[in-house]
A and B are shown apart, each in its own frame.
Chain A
């Protein structure tokens, strides 16, 4: 079974500063990894995903993430944040097998990013 740990529940930053949201996962098989963003009172929106290939993945809104297999991490980064990036961010993992529980994504508990002026 896989699990996801988001190391920070809250991350406050100032506008135009860089940010990194940390995510570690545990899985006994190859994985697919995702980052979602949730704005207040809305559903989750896919930011980016890692399926295979290049370990640096670029997503929407200027975000990127790096898959590090040896450290079982998939940290999300943005070089310069805006007020509009204030939201909750969720990391998720899907195991690499087929059938049964591999249909499911396992989510971290989320990181609330607050961008201050």
Chain B
């Protein structure tokens, strides 16, 4: 089975800090995604990447950036964390343009204080 691993389950950061969320997948998937999940809002796409060094903005990219230097690793960066970025962050990967769906990591619950 494909495994998608997010480096932290819980994270607490201070306002203004630069925050890195790491995601690694082990099955050579081309596509990787970052979502945030908030109660009542469902999953909202922040950024996705369909190849190494390639990225595209999702629906809510403001305040975030991403990095994909290697195929297996996709990092989400909060340049200057704010309290409204407190959320659950989910990483996912997919094969063949997502035809078979995504495989998700366990999520990182980020609290910005």
Which residues of A line the B interface, CB within 8 A?
9, 32, 34, 36, 41-46, 49, 51, 90, 92, 94, 98-99, 102-105, 107-110
Which residues of B line the A interface, CB within 8 A?
4, 9, 31, 33, 40-43, 45, 48, 50, 58, 90, 92, 94, 97-107, 109
Q: How far is the CA of A104 from the CA of B43 in the complex (A)?
A: 12
Total cross-chain contacts (CB, 8 A) = 62
> Once the chains bind, are A44 and B90 in contact (CB under 8 Å)?
yes
> Once the chains bind, are A108 and B42 in contact (CB under 8 Å)?
yes
> Once the chains bind, are A94 and B99 in contact (CB under 8 Å)?
yes
Q: What B residues does A107 contact at CB under 8 A? A: 42-43
Q: Which of A34, A43, A98, A109 has a CB less than 8 Å from the CB of B101?
A: A34
A105-B102 CB under 8 A given contacts A43-B90, A90-B43: yes
Q: In the complex, what residue of chain B is closest to A97 when comparing beta carbons? A: B97
